[in-house]
Amino acid sequence: MVSMATRRGWLLAVILAFYLVTYVPALLTFVLNSLHPSRGMGIVGPEWTLANYAKLLNDPYYHRAFLLTFRMAATATLLTLALSYPLAYFIARRRSWLATAVLAAVVASAYTSAVVRTMGWKMLLGLNGPVNQALLATGLLDAPLKLTNNLTGAILGLVHVFIPLMTLFLMAVINNVSPALEEAASGLGANGWQVFWQVLFPLTLPGVIGGSLLVFALDMGAFTTPALLGGGRLPIISILIRENVLSTLNLPMGATLAFALLLLVMATFWLTNALTRGGAYR
């Protein structure tokens, strides 16, 4: 059978060739581009330089951009986790029509275009939108809240985008914990909160950390949702990349920011792997 098996090696040739003439040179080209100066008007100088990286490390404007990206991603991740855990638990543990309906809603949302979702949020969260109307009607506010075209809008949109991924991820994690443990705890007199905080949550913690780091990495790299709900001028890394490459035509600076973003995202993925390898949910 070995001869039969080794003969299959040629099947890999097609995909490897495709990667080697498209994906690999594309990555190389953009990284090399970050090592050239920009002459303005989209012209890239031929000499080699680390000036773009020096600018990234020294200019407070970029420090603030990275901090804002971190803050946005961290806040969005925590909110995504808080909203996804109840959904995941409900779908994993309850066998009812409601659990099926919640799963269907999560799956449908997972495959809804990001642009379409932002259109809905724009209508709901506008200054005269129903959310502000309802808040004003309760008398809690005197003036409408600005909920889109700022950081709040970007975070809210990101939370919504990654709830399905986090829910499906946590569902698998919770399914790996035997329900008998929760039954035993409540049989011994623990109430719902105690069962959650002292039994279920510690057992699912490796999965919670893994899922959160995954969503954090995706939040940092996200573009479509923060660009449309953040108002396009929110100075986060992904929006600055687009601005440099397509608007101010400073391709080397755009490439430098993109490479920095890539390193941050890959470091997060690496951390996820390091922390969850052999973890309880695998």
Partner 1 sequence: MDTPVPVRPEPVPHISVRRRLTELAFPAVVVLITVFVLAPVITVVLTSFTATNYAIFPPRGLSLQWFTRINPKFLASFQLSVWLALATTIISTTVATTAGLALVRGQIPGRQWIDSFLRSPLQVPLLVTGVAFYTFYATTLRGMGLNLRSTFVGLLIGHCVIAIPYVLAAVVAGLAKLDLTVEEAAEGLGATPWQTFRHVTLPMLRPALFAGAFFAFVTSFDDVPVSLFLAGSGTQPLPIELFFAVEYALEPDVFAVATLVVAFSTVLILLLEKAVGVRSALSGQTHR
Residues in region 12-51 near partner 1 by CB under 8 A: 12, 14-16, 18-19, 22-23, 25-27, 29-30, 33, 44
Q: How far is the CB of 76 from partner 1 (least distance, A)?
A: 14
User: For residues 87-116, which are near partner 1 according to CB under 8 A?
Assistant: 87, 90, 98, 101-103, 105-109, 111-116
> Contact between 223 and partner 1 (CB under 8 A)?
yes
> Contact between 209 and partner 1 (CB under 8 A)?
no
* Residue 232 CA: distances (Å) to CA of 91, 171, 226, 245: 36, 34, 8, 14
Q: How far is the CB of 82 from partner 1 (least distance, A)?
A: 9
Pairwise CA distance, residues 18 & 26, whole Å:
12
> Contact between 210 and partner 1 (CB under 8 A)?
no
> Contact between 261 and partner 1 (CB under 8 A)?
yes
Pairwise CA distance, residues 220 & 104, whole Å:
27
Q: Of 5 and 188, which has the nearer Cβ to partner 1?
A: 5
Instruction: Please give the span between the terminal C-alpha atoms of the chain, in angstroms, as a whole number.
Output: 32
Number of chain residues interacting with partner 1 (CB under 8 A): 85
Q: Quick check: 145 and 184 in contact, CB under 8 A?
A: no
Q: How far is the CB of 181 from partner 1 (least distance, A)?
A: 18
Of 81, 218, 234, 253, the one binding partner 1 by CB under 8 A:
218
Pairwise CA distance, residues 169 & 9, whole Å:
34
> Contact between 188 and partner 1 (CB under 8 A)?
no
Q: Phi and psi (nearest 5°) for 247?
A: -105, -60
> Contact between 266 and partner 1 (CB under 8 A)?
yes
Q: Which stretch binds partner 1 (CB under 8 A): 65-73, 139-147, 197-205, 253-261?
A: 253-261
- DSSP notation for 111-167: TS-HHHHHHHHHHHHSTTSHHHHHHHHTTS-SS----SSSHHHHHHHHHHHHHHHHH
> Contact between 2 and partner 1 (CB under 8 A)?
yes
* Residue 216 CA: distances (Å) to CA of 59, 64, 128, 166, 222: 25, 18, 32, 11, 10
Q: Binding string to partner 1 for residues 142 to 181, with x set by CB under 8 A, is what?
A: ------------------x--xxx--x-------------
Q: How far is the CB of 57 from partner 1 (least distance, A)?
A: 19
Pairwise CA distance, residues 131 & 121, whole Å:
10
Q: Strands, E, within the chain: which ranges?
A: 38-40, 43-44
